[in-house]
Structure 1
Amino acid sequence: MSTLYSTRVTAVGGRSGTVHSEDGLLDLPLALPKELGGKGDSTNPEQLFAAGYAACFENAVIHVTRGKAASVKDDDIVVVGTVGMAPNGSGGFGLSVGLDVTITGVDQATAEAIVDEAHRVCPYSNAVRGNIDVALDVHVA
């Protein structure tokens, strides 16, 4: 497989550290969430994962609707990503993902078919398939 894009991000200091991309566009402090006993005054890895997955999945929806009879504009799609973390029973932790997808201008059956196809082509979906439970909730507006 030929790589279409690659990026590099450095994390220092764990959940109370920082993340920096090599191009300088991403430069963020991290903090343990208040719910886990931290200050919660900065972003955390779960928020970053939720943001990345939601944005990538929205683009997958855009991708699969191009050239189809159901015309969907980029702004007609809203994806809200939720990432949860829980003990996995083996001394570690596991993630769960919820993607709440709203598409304007199509009927429910069409929206569900679009989201199913997007879930097959989205790089995040393909990366986590079989490892992380992903719940898809599809709405029309």
Structure 2
Amino acid sequence: MTIQHIDVAYTAVATASNGRDGRVSSDDGNLDVVVNPPKAMGGSGAGTNPEQLFAAGYSACFQGALGVVARRAKADITGSTVTAAVSIGKTEAGGFGLEVAITATIPNVDRATAQSLVEQAHQVCPYSNATRGNIEVALSVA
């Protein structure tokens, strides 16, 4: 696999303390959250968790990519939503891995157009490009 170099437009910086049972904050102060493992993984579930943060970032980024491809196609995606469901579990090698299910709801286009837009957005989205070949990402249209 070749590492692709990019023309950097922005760099986000966040710092974690105490891992999955601590706090995460951004350098600009806009993000400052308590993180705890979810109850399903033996935690208190009192704060957010890394999978929720990843799902939030992926869904927002994918929605932005959907907007880019919709403008190119002159498609109306008004009222659309993108949901990212991020799952964590043990891998066969004994570590942990992620899976993502992306579901887009695009009310103003037919199903075939919606599916095409979602597939195109998956090629544009930086999160999709970063995860491609590394984790399973399932795409669907609601």
TM more than 0.5: yes
- Picking from 14, 26, 47, the partner of 1:9 is 14
> What does 1:82-121 correspond to in 2, within 5 Å?
82-121=85-124
- Picking from 22, 45, 50, the partner of 1:45 is 50
Unaligned runs of 5+ in 1: none
- Pairwise CA distance, 1:77: 1.3
| Alpha-carbon distance in structure 2 between the residues aligned to 1:99 and 1:67 | 21
Q: Which amino acid aligns with 2:76?
A: S
Instruction: Name the SS of the counterpart of 2:20 in structure 1.
Output: helix
Instruction: Name the SS of the counterpart of 1:101 in structure 2.
Output: strand
Percent identical across equivalent pairs?
50
- Pairwise CA distance, 1:86: 1.1
Q: How many residues align?
A: 137
- Picking from 126, 131, 140, the partner of 1:128 is 131
Instruction: Name the SS of the counterpart of 1:35 in structure 2.
Output: helix
- Pairwise CA distance, 1:69: 3.2
Instruction: Name the SS of the counterpart of 1:112 in structure 2.
Output: helix
Offset from partner CA, 1:62-108 (integer Å, 9 cap, x none): 111114232223xx211111011111111201100001110011001
Which stretches of structure 1, 4 residues or longer, exceed 4 Å deviation after superposition?
none
Normalization by structure 2: what TM-score?
Answer: 0.93
Normalization by structure 1: what TM-score?
Answer: 0.94
Please tell me the root mean square deviation across aligned C-alpha atoms, in Å. Answer: 0.9
